[in-house]
Amino acid sequence: MKVEMKNVLDKIKAYNTIILFRHFRPDGDAVGSTKGFAELLRASFPEKKVYLQNADFSDYLAFLGGEEQPLPDEVYAGALGIVLDTATEDRISNKRYTLCKELIKIDHHIPVKQYGVLQWVEEERSSTCEMVAAFYQAFKDELVLTKEAATYIYTGMVTDSGRFRFRDVSGETMRLAGMLLDSGVDLDTVYANLYMKEFDTFKFEAYVHKKMKITKNGVAYVVVTKAMKKKFKLSNEQASACVSCMDSIKNSLVWAAFIQNDDGSIRVRLRSRFVTVNELAEKYNGGGHACACGATVYSKKQMHALIQDADTLLKNYKENNTGWL
């Protein structure tokens, strides 16, 4: 067991009030890990006050339950803040986290800039939810895992690992997922909520398949403009999901979706297999994991520069490696 895990538990025991935070534009892992950890702590330490405080939410994950009412500043003042699934401070959704007495970071992203009095970071984990499951496993004599907590945690593990497909999935991932299933997760309901799509979304995906382009060396990409979002009645969240339309094109080891934000900036969702792309994302105001990153560009010129850099990266990769598909 990692010493950081024990340090996290000791800190939790030392506080009566705990507030959990996640990154903005939350995904399944951000929502699942915070809700799962909150439920784990509530069931295990009923005498403590445990809150979730976030400034934005995800429609897609609304089936896991709603958000909590904002708390007054006084509650933050004596609280332990725990930030899950968030690599850097500037990505924390609720900026009032600074009011907490102390802050802990629990995360599986490549650490770019650390924060908090205590960090438990395991970048080889497939999700932060996997870390929460491991936390329960390590201290199961002292903790209580409810069916609700198992469902939140399982949801984050499924979504962040691409349904247990990505390379950071390990035997340990599967053993922990098995433990959660044994706690009563209703797979039918979780998968139906996660993967059923609206009719309009299928139409949009057909459009994306038609519009996507590929560079000389195999970088697939698509641009989603504000006009396209309007035409297909898409939220930013629905529009950005199109990155997965390009995830299984042979020889295209790097792919990206460029989604125009309302303020004109362009959100980049960058994905890859075999090739490491996080340094490319970091060059364009982003970061993330070796094969799944986010970034932001502010003009078409910058977007094309990123595509060109991705193409060069892929060219070099293909020239120097074998066995890729």
87 sits near ligand AMP (criterion: CB under 6 A): yes
220 sits near ligand AMP (criterion: CB under 6 A): no
Three-state SS for 118?
strand
Contact between 237 and 58 (Cβ < 8 Å): yes
| Smallest distance from ligand AMP to CB 108, Å | 8
| Smallest distance from ligand AMP to CB 23, Å | 6
Judged by beta carbon, residue 111 or residue 144, the one nearer ligand AMP is 111
| Smallest distance from ligand AMP to CB 232, Å | 20
Judged by beta carbon, residue 12 or residue 306, the one nearer ligand AMP is 306
Determine the interface stretch with ligand AMP among 135-143, 176-184, 284-292, 300-308 (rule: CB under 6 A): 284-292
Three-state SS for 268?
strand
What is the rounded CA–CA span in Å between residue 186 and residue 147? 9
Angle at 116 between CA 112 and CA 122, to 5 degrees: 55
Judged by beta carbon, residue 45 or residue 60, the one nearer ligand AMP is 60
| Smallest distance from ligand AMP to CB 313, Å | 17
Strand 287-288 relative to strand 292-297, pairing: antiparallel
Determine the interface stretch with ligand AMP among 129-137, 145-153, 198-206, 280-288 (rule: CB under 6 A): 280-288
| Smallest distance from ligand AMP to CB 206, Å | 22
**Which of 28, 116, 218, 288 contacts ligand AMP by CB under 6 A?**
288
Determine the interface stretch with ligand AMP among 67-75, 216-224, 288-296, 298-306 (rule: CB under 6 A): 288-296
Cα-Cα-Cα-Cα dihedral sign, residues 16, 109, 31, 44: negative
Three-state SS for 21?
strand
| Smallest distance from ligand AMP to CB 240, Å | 7
Strand 80-84 relative to strand 118-121, pairing: unpaired
| Smallest distance from ligand AMP to CB 110, Å | 8
Give me the DSSP letters along 162-214.
TTTTSTT--HHHHHHHHHHHHTT--HHHHHHHHH---HHHHHHHHHHHHH-EE
Determine the interface stretch with ligand AMP among 132-140, 178-186, 283-291, 310-318 (rule: CB under 6 A): 283-291
User: Which has the closest alpha carbon to 315: 252, 261, 240, 267?
Assistant: 252
Residue count, binding to ligand AMP (CB under 6 A): 13
C-beta neighbour count of 311 within 10 angstroms? 18
Determine the interface stretch with ligand AMP among 42-50, 128-136, 225-233, 282-290 (rule: CB under 6 A): 282-290
Contact between 110 and 11 (Cβ < 8 Å): no
27 sits near ligand AMP (criterion: CB under 6 A): yes
**Which of 8, 20, 23, 39 contacts ligand AMP by CB under 6 A?**
23
292 sits near ligand AMP (criterion: CB under 6 A): yes
What is the rounded CA–CA span in Å between residue 105 and residue 148? 23
Q: Exposure string (b/e) for 42-52, b if CB count within 10 Å is 16 or more?
A: bebbeeeebbb
Determine the interface stretch with ligand AMP among 9-17, 46-54, 67-75, 285-293 (rule: CB under 6 A): 285-293
294 sits near ligand AMP (criterion: CB under 6 A): yes
**Which residues of this protein are in contact with ligand AMP, per CB under 6 A?**
23, 27, 87, 109, 269, 286-289, 292-295
